[in-house]
Amino acid sequence: MSIEIKINTEDLQRFIKTKSKVFFTAAKKHISAASWAFIRFITLQQLSGRITANYGLNVITGTLRRSFKSKTIGNADAGDVITKIFSSAKYAQYHQTGTRRFPKRLFIFEEYNKTGLKIYREELSLAIKEAMR
């Protein structure tokens, strides 16, 4: 006695291709949302006034706070989604790294990697749920 199981791989490949495009679109949307959530986190934590001598930046004009942007791009065929968070303020790097005459005034700390990863993981979980509907 035997059982023969035949799998139509074309249907399976079509299903995977359809779901991967749906997931890619959802991932791009949710990663973009995560980027903006991370920017909000940074601006609330670090760009809302000095808390101690080494923590936070005083807000004078708000230019640095408003200068943060996010750009999410992707290539569905390659399966890549890339997000970039950046500041358009020319002096942002001087606060972050300091100069010979200007001390470092960090506003993005290494510990923020954990917070950023948490935000991105949550958004990717939402993208997976959205794609599987």
Question: Is residue 2 assigned to a domain?
Answer: no
For residue 55, the model assigns a pLDDT of 59
Question: Is residue 5 assigned to a domain?
Answer: no
Percent of the chain with pLDDT over 70: 77
For residue 2, the model assigns a pLDDT of 47
Rg of the chain on CA atoms, in Å: 22
Question: Is residue 120 assigned to a domain?
Answer: yes
Question: Is residue 4 assigned to a domain?
Answer: no
Question: Is residue 97 assigned to a domain?
Answer: yes
**Residue-wise pLDDT tens digits, 24-67:** 888 888 888 888 888 888 777 777 666 555 556 777 777 888 88
Number of domain units in the chain: 1
**Whole-Å CA distances, 22 to 80, 83, 114, 119:** 14, 18, 28, 21
Cβ–Cβ < 8 Å for 71, 80: no
Question: Is residue 3 assigned to a domain?
Answer: no
- Name the pTM for this structure: 0.66
Question: Is residue 110 assigned to a domain?
Answer: yes
- Domain that includes residue 52, residue range: 10-131
